[in-house]
Amino acid sequence: MIDRQKHLLRLADWSEERILETVDIACRLKAEVHSGQYSDRFKGQSLGMFFEKPSLRTITTFQVGIHQFGGLPVILDPDSIGLGKRESIKDVARCLSRWINALVVRCFKQELVEQLALYGDIPVINALTDDFHPCQAVSFAQMLREQMGDFQGKTVAFIGDGNNVANSLLTLCAKLGMNFTLACPKGFEQPKWIVEESLPLLKKRGCKYRVFNTPEEAVVDADILYSDVWVSMGQEGEKESKQSHFLPFQISDHLLTLAPEHCKVSHCLPAHRGEEITDSVMDGSKNFSYEEAENRLHAQKAILWQVMTATKSIK
């Protein structure tokens, strides 16, 4: 059995209180970094990083983050390790647990992060799977806290594919009492089981989950529009067939005129300028993607703080 509090495998495992506490820690750590003084809380500890998919933000910020904490990042090369081929997942997880203090994993199947958590003794952090991107959601929450103050009753409108980022943002909304709107072409909605998992919590908080098949309807009451690539990593083969469906789902200056005046925009990045979002919106004053990108550092340090504090020493 996995102790799901020990890890961050999916945001659904963490309570509202734990998420809010993580955002508070992230804000404190951000202030520290801005003042030039870092806590070396994890001095002498090591953080393993296993990335099966490309990354700029996640891999950089975890490395910088553990370095600021006085620890060592250890990059693990998937080709060299041959997980499940050269060696079993079980044996890799057991060995890593003897050397490093926590493991950050970006991979295709959610099942892999779950197995690494099951077989190892160290905390595992999901740095993006085909299903979820919890680190992005916590960084987004920190940005919302900074830009809007409060979460309760706000409306997040995700314009695009019902993908891993959309799934984690939906969970975040359910946990923190925000409405979630998805605007996507028919057939590109979020998996039913993920939506159904969030619905009772949304209902309890008096919040709505809505899906529209045009972006115009989705933005009218939004506090923030969220964008992501139409074709996620691993789906490159679907690019041609997907793109034509998604063309109307672009965040543009025109779309923003249909949203409330105060409505902001964010994108998890990397952005495909001219596809899901225009240059003009990316470079405009309503775009808070770069604030969110900065928060990847602080929010992930806060996640490390939460999971590594509980297991500060290894055997």
Interface mask toward ligand CP for 108-147; x: CB under 6 A: --------------------x-------x-----------
Residue 313 CB, nearest approach to ligand NVA (Å): 33
Question: Cα separation of 183 and 164, whole Å?
Answer: 15
Sign of CA dihedral 160, 163, 164, 166: positive
74/268 with CB nearer ligand CP: 268
136/295 with CB nearer ligand CP: 136
For ligand CP, which residue of 6, 10, 57, 298 counts as binding (CB under 6 A)? 57
Residue 105 CB, nearest approach to ligand CP (Å): 13
Q: Which residues contact ligand NVA by CB under 6 A?
A: 128, 163-165, 228-229, 232-233, 268
What contacts 109, CB < 8 A, 6 or more positions away?
129, 130
DSSP code for 190: P
55 binds ligand CP (CB under 6 A): yes
Instruction: For 177-199, give one letter per residue: b (16+ CB within 10 A) or e.
Output: bbbbbbbbbeebbbeeebbebbe
20 binds ligand CP (CB under 6 A): no
267 binds ligand CP (CB under 6 A): no
For residue 70, the tally of other CB atoms under 10 A from its CB is 14
178 binds ligand CP (CB under 6 A): no
Residue 88 CB, nearest approach to ligand CP (Å): 28
Q: Would you call 235 exposed, middle or buried from its count of C-beta atoms within 10 A (0-12, 13-18, 19+)?
A: middle
